[in-house]
Amino acid sequence: MATIRALLLPLLSAGLLLPSAACSSMFGSGDNGNVRVVMTASDQASLAPSLNTDGDDDDDNDGEHHTDRFLERVETANVTLASLLARNVNGELIDLDMDLPTTIDLKALANGNQTTLPAGTLPAGDYDQLVVVMTQVELTYINGGAISLTPPGGGWTSIVRVAPFTIVDGQDATIELQFRMGGAFRDLNGAIKFFPDFDGKHRDN
What are 51-78's pLDDT values in tens digits? 333 334 444 445 455 667 788 889 999 9
Three-class DSSP category at 16: coil
Nearest to 79 by CA among 4, 151, 155, 134: 134
Radius of gyration from C-alpha coordinates of the chain: 17
Element (H, E) at 34: strand 32-45
Q: What is the pLDDT of residue 191?
A: 85
pLDDT of residue 164: 94
Do 139 and 152 contact (CB within 8 A), yes or no? no
Q: What is the pLDDT of residues 175-195, one digit of tens each?
A: 999 999 988 988 777 788 899
pTM given for the model: 0.76
Average pLDDT over residues 89-101: 95
Of 101, 97, 158, 100, the C-alpha closest to 133 is 158
Where is pLDDT greater, at 89 or 8? Answer: 89
Q: For 100-126, give the DSSP string.
A: --EEEEHHHHHTT--EEPPPEEEESEE
Spatial separation of the C-alpha atoms in residues 99 and 96, rounded to whole Å: 10
Please, what is the average pLDDT of the chain? Answer: 80
| Termini Cα distance of the chain | 31
Angle at 114 between CA 108 and CA 118, to 5 degrees: 110
**Is the separation of the CB atoms in 17 and 94 below 8 Å?**
no
- Give the separation between CA 167 and CA 62, rounded to whole angstroms: 39
**Domain boundaries in the chain?**
2-203
